A and B are shown apart, each in its own frame.
Chain A
Amino acid sequence: MATVLSGNGAAAWGFRLSRVQCYPYYPITPSTACSQQISRWVNDGAMNTVTINAESEHSAASQIIAAGKDVRSGTATSSKGLLYMIEVLENAAGGSIPCGLFIGNRATGAPINIWADNSDAYAMRDSGLIQLFAADGQEALDNIIQGYRIAEDLGVRLPFAVNLRGFTGTHAYEGVEIPQEIDVDRYLPPFAPLNPLFAPEKPVTYGAMLSATFYRRHKRNQMAAMSNVAEVALKAGREFGEIFGRPYGLFEWVGDEKAELVVALMGESASPGDAVTRHLQGKRGIPGVALLKIRLFSPFPAREIAQALAKAGTKALVVFEEGLHHGAVFPPLAQRIATATHLHLGTDAPKVASVIGGLGGSEVRQDHFQQMFNLADNIAEGRPYRTEPYWLDIAEDPIFAESEKEAAPQLWKRWGEVWKKQARKEKYFDPLPKNTEEIRIYSRAGQGAITSAVGFTGAGIESGLQLLTVPAFGSERRGAIITTDTLVNDRGKRKIRSFNRAWDVVILYDDTILSSPEHNVLEGLKEGGVLLVNTSRLRVTKIREILSASESRLRVFTVPASEIAQGLGLSHLNMAMLGALHRVYEKVPFEKAFGYYEKHVPRPRESSLEAIQQGHAQTTDREAVRAKKERRLVVSGDFLDWRPEDHSYDLWPTALEEIQLG
């Protein structure tokens, strides 16, 4: 039974189940919540780990390296924090210290940017760490456990890092299978120090200074250990599958066995790529397509990837990349793949093009993959293509331009001939089937929308559906309008993590959002979709009037959630809104969900459950008579103490934690 967890929460479980003995931490967005969760467990006695409140990432890294000589150690970081660690991380690699890092990938700036890309992971790629990329919370959890298994192998003894895309990975809430402790203990034996410091019988010196003769031999040995990783990782991934039912390879091949066109990438951005690949598979006029999801970035499994491409008969390979390599021909992943195919396949190597996207939290959407497969198609047909990276979502520099007008003149001068010979083929751009149902909440930061969405996600998972909730995060002030999106997939077992951005339900936690000049709440709402508004003063007709949607097939509901919450003495209106959601959206049956809420609802439980009931009961699409006086909730201490990272851990303790914490 899956439990609802964020990517950070899943990573924390990875460390907990790996029985990490020393966990120093220093906060940095977006990976902080992993350390917060571990601190909570440690302070509640649920996890037996020595934590250190470090004064910098540099010190946290120094501490995992120091402690990693005697015990299993790990920490989490992101972005500049990782860059600050790099100075000392090489000591872990050079000193054969198998400590672990979880990285919530984030841009490194300047300009400062707190959102996702791979700049931090790329900056550390020469530090000598094993680098694994996870595509979701489940993979982050599994990879951390496997990371220790690989890193501590006697043929390896190197540090490792597990990467997960910031926010869309680290802050996405979804069902995660938490392995049983007893199984993990079977899979991952206790830490065995090779040259411990706290061993009077055998004193050792770490970090000695070596002159050239010894230095070069040492570095060669270090490289040799690194080259053992692929084999060890394959074995570890296979055995992981045997015990937990989720086998892992060095990369994942999604799509056709024979694939002329391949898009390669790493990490969470594979979600929309996955949907597009499956959609394009077997379509008329489209050759074999596949998505190459690379899990092991360092050491790069060059031979294995080259063999897979050769076996699939790949002609064109487009490498999608969320990062740069300043001054280089290609960014790091494209460079590694190009080298791999060139070295192992020679003249039979597929043509490799590079596409840069997803920078600084840029959306990675389905249409991007449609463009990339179209580009691959053109390359496979022998059309010319760029020998430097393409960019996504740069208006004056599109991948396809029919005429000069669509591109910047300077660029046209340079790439006009290439553009002219490209063919945009509509068959790649057919809209994807809407296999998922999607809900968007507009709320003000601090209203508890994420908490309610996470609760809804948990209830949905328990009723057998697959759900994913992705809140939008940023440098929002309290009270700013934020969105929280939930995806519901009721079709079969295959996980879908890609939003179509066609909303079945749009919820407003605050009726003033209707008049926000920056938010068009009807944008993306499906024909016949539902708009649910928390209001005590507006009637349904008035709302239609404000939105100029009197005649549309839109269904408008109102619920006096603030009033309900106030009546019950609650400081948040989110529980009433949760009940109301069940009234307008019945895919997650209310009766069943209520059973889940009875177990997991935030405190005070009785009032929260009552709020859910009342919210459900008082939701209406009729012209309800409302009190004229505007209701506003009193600002309570709880409300003021709210922090964006607070959700779910305190408020929705999982069943497992409940048991362990008594």
Chain B
Amino acid sequence: MYNILYNRHIGTTPHSFLLPDPVLDVGEYGAILTTGLSSGHQGCTGCGMVSGTNQVLKALKLTGKHVVASIGTGCNEVITTQNTSCWGNVSVDHNNFPNTGATLSGNVAALRALARAGAASPDAFINLGMAGDGGTYDIGLQALLAWIARGEDGIYVCLNNQAYMNTGVQGSGATPYGTHTSTTPFGKLIRGNQRTPQYLPDLALAAGASYVATACPVQHRDLMIKVQKAAAIEGPCVVEIYSVCPEGWKSETDVFHEITEWALQTRSWILYEAERDRKTNTVLFTLNHVPEKHVGVADYLKLQERFAGMREFPEMVERAQEVIESRWSFWQPVLQANGIQGGDKAHEL
């Protein structure tokens, strides 16, 4: 349990409110030459995950530290390590599907042992974990929560594309309600995915994470600031990245931005962050983005054929809207403080 504090300001800032050391403000990211993934990866056209990974790596490289990444099995691992490595100057440890968190712990332990032996300085390295939503919400949850509970310093990035894309689009613990996947097909009797997803930031905060954030590659400055904050903050930090998947979402490959914009507009994906102050047992929640105008979820369902079935059923769309509103209601105090009407009414900034 923790006390909840709301940051009345909406938006992302490079500086942390609760923690004493300000994070590095790198200014205009685009102006500095850095590499993320090197060329040759086998990601699909229009893949949001590759873009997200690139931005994470660029943000971390700007800290000047060497990144040691534990990557869980999944699309991201498969498309970047096939016969060659696309990880440039990142050291990569792929150690199976369910154990990204455990591998992260093993690497942290090795670094501690090296530091004891005087063979390495912990300050020179960033321990990064990276896995998909299946490897995070489902098979890897035990290892992830145990890693968070150990309180080790590191960053865990979940590339959430809302299903098992690497194995052929099966439903995961992060699949939205009503979605058609190969294991939750939109049938005559049962219409798509019947459950609503869990939320990683909630799970991570409950386990004791120091910092959690959601991000999307379209808001790249926001994403990179969050990753850098995570790098600066002591303890386990979790960043969840919205990752468009044209193959699994049955969308066109050139509507990456449009889909993300609709997700933000309809609040199907909410950009926020939360920092923990252990002394006061407080978690400060900051809302990073408020849609310019209120849009119903039906618009989000348009560009993605995975929602083609549920679009035809008004009661399902209504249910999806309810899920969104219930999640959004958390931000009422912030919206009120900013004179923005919440709830189901339209609002303007």
Hey, which bits of chain A sit against chain B, CB under 8 A?
21-22, 24, 48-50, 52-56, 58-60, 62-71, 73, 87-88, 91, 197-200, 203-211, 214
- For window 56-72 of B, CB contacts with A under 8 Å fall at 66, 68, 70-71
Contacts of A204 in B (CB 8 A): 91-92
Task: Give me 24 A-to-B residue pairs in the complex whose CB atoms sit less than 8 angstroms apart, sorted by A's number.
Answer: A24-B109, A50-B113, A52-B106, A54-B102, A55-B143, A56-B143, A58-B143, A65-B95, A65-B106, A66-B70, A66-B95, A67-B110, A67-B113, A70-B113, A198-B111, A199-B91, A205-B85, A206-B92, A207-B71, A207-B81, A208-B82, A208-B83, A209-B78, A209-B81
Contacts of B142 in A (CB 8 A): 55-56, 59
Contacts of A70 in B (CB 8 A): 110-111, 113-114
Cα A53 to Cα B125 with chains together (Å): 23
Contacts of B189 in A (CB 8 A): none
Task: Tell whether B98 is near chain A: CB-to-CB under 8 Å.
Answer: yes
Contacts of B116 in A (CB 8 A): 21, 48, 50
Contacts of A207 in B (CB 8 A): 71, 77, 81, 92-96
Cα A206 to Cα B113 with chains together (Å): 20
**CB-CB under 8 A for A200 and B143, given A206-B95, A207-B94:** no
Cα A87 to Cα B99 with chains together (Å): 11
Contacts of B88 in A (CB 8 A): 203
Contacts of A24 in B (CB 8 A): 105-106, 109
Hey, which bits of chain B sit against chain A, CB under 8 A?
66, 68, 70-71, 77-78, 81-85, 87-96, 98-99, 101-107, 109-114, 116-117, 120, 124-125, 142-143, 146, 150
Q: Is the CB of B124 within 8 A of A200?
A: yes
Cα A56 to Cα B78 with chains together (Å): 26
Query: From B84, which residue of chain A is reached at the shortest CB distance?
Result: A208
Q: A208-B83, A209-B81 are in contact. List 12 more A-B contacts (CB 8 A).
A: A21-B116, A50-B109, A64-B106, A66-B93, A66-B95, A66-B107, A70-B113, A198-B66, A203-B66, A204-B92, A207-B93, A209-B77
**CB-CB under 8 A for A206 and B93, given A70-B110, A198-B125:** yes
Contacts of A50 in B (CB 8 A): 109-110, 112-113, 116
**CB-CB under 8 A for A205 and B102, given A70-B114, A210-B83:** no
**CB-CB under 8 A for A91 and B83, given A59-B105, A66-B110:** no
Shortest C-beta distance, B247 to chain A (Å), equals: 18
Contacts of B71 in A (CB 8 A): 207
Shortest C-beta distance, A185 to chain B (Å), equals: 14
Report, nearest first, the 6 A-B pairs whose CB atoms are least far apart.
Answer: A66-B106, A207-B94, A63-B106, A59-B102, A55-B146, A205-B85
Contacts of A69 in B (CB 8 A): 93, 110
Cα A62 to Cα B107 with chains together (Å): 10
Contacts of B81 in A (CB 8 A): 205, 207-209
Within the complex, which residue of B82, B92, B124 is in contact with A211, where a contact is CB–CB below 8 Å? B82
Within the complex, which residue of A49, A87, A197 is in contact with B91, where a contact is CB–CB below 8 Å? A197
**CB-CB under 8 A for A203 and B91, given A208-B81, A209-B77:** yes
Within the complex, which residue of B82, B99, B120, B124 is in contact with A58, where a contact is CB–CB below 8 Å? B99
Within the complex, which residue of B84, B92, B125, B143 is in contact with A62, where a contact is CB–CB below 8 Å? B143
Interface centre among B83, B89, B110, B146 (most CB of A within 10 A): B110
Q: Is the CB of B95 within 8 A of A62?
A: yes
Cα A21 to Cα B85 with chains together (Å): 29
Cα A71 to Cα B66 with chains together (Å): 18
**CB-CB under 8 A for A59 and B146, given A203-B89, A205-B85:** yes
Q: Is the CB of A91 within 8 A of B96?
A: yes
Contacts of B87 in A (CB 8 A): 203, 205
Contacts of B102 in A (CB 8 A): 54-56, 58-60, 62-63, 66
Shortest C-beta distance, A267 to chain B (Å), equals: 30
Q: Is the CB of B95 within 8 A of A22?
A: no
Cα A67 to Cα B114 with chains together (Å): 10
Within the complex, which residue of A21, A56, A200, A214 is in contact with B83, where a contact is CB–CB below 8 Å? A214
Q: Is the CB of B68 within 8 A of A197?
A: yes
Query: From B82, which residue of chain A is reached at the shortest CB distance?
Result: A209
Q: Is the CB of A205 within 8 A of B106?
A: no
Shortest C-beta distance, A383 to chain B (Å), equals: 51
Shortest C-beta distance, B152 to chain A (Å), equals: 9
Contacts of B83 in A (CB 8 A): 208-211, 214
Q: Is the CB of A67 within 8 A of B109?
A: yes
Q: Is the CB of B91 within 8 A of A62?
A: no
Contacts of A59 in B (CB 8 A): 99, 101-102, 105, 142-143, 146
Contacts of A62 in B (CB 8 A): 95-96, 99, 102-103, 106, 143
Shortest C-beta distance, A401 to chain B (Å), equals: 51
Shortest C-beta distance, A89 to chain B (Å), equals: 10
Cα A453 to Cα B99 with chains together (Å): 43
Q: Is the CB of A208 within 8 A of B106?
A: no
Query: From B73, which residue of chain A is reached at the shortest CB distance?
Result: A207
Q: Is the CB of A22 within 8 A of B103?
A: no
Contacts of A199 in B (CB 8 A): 91
Cα A21 to Cα B88 with chains together (Å): 29
Q: Is the CB of A71 within 8 A of B124?
A: no
Contacts of B146 in A (CB 8 A): 54-55, 59
Cα A207 to Cα B114 with chains together (Å): 22
Shortest C-beta distance, A24 to chain B (Å), equals: 7
Contacts of B120 in A (CB 8 A): 198
Shortest C-beta distance, B38 to chain A (Å), equals: 11
Contacts of A210 in B (CB 8 A): 82-83
Cα A73 to Cα B103 with chains together (Å): 13
Shortest C-beta distance, A50 to chain B (Å), equals: 4
**CB-CB under 8 A for A71 and B105, given A55-B146, A207-B81:** no
Shortest C-beta distance, A467 to chain B (Å), equals: 38
Query: From B107, which residue of chain A is reached at the shortest CB distance?
Result: A66
**CB-CB under 8 A for A21 and B117, given A58-B102, A63-B105, A66-B102:** yes
Shortest C-beta distance, A445 to chain B (Å), equals: 32
Query: From B146, which residue of chain A is reached at the shortest CB distance?
Result: A55
Contacts of A49 in B (CB 8 A): 113
Contacts of B99 in A (CB 8 A): 58-59, 62, 88
Cα A169 to Cα B343 with chains together (Å): 67
Cα A59 to Cα B72 with chains together (Å): 13
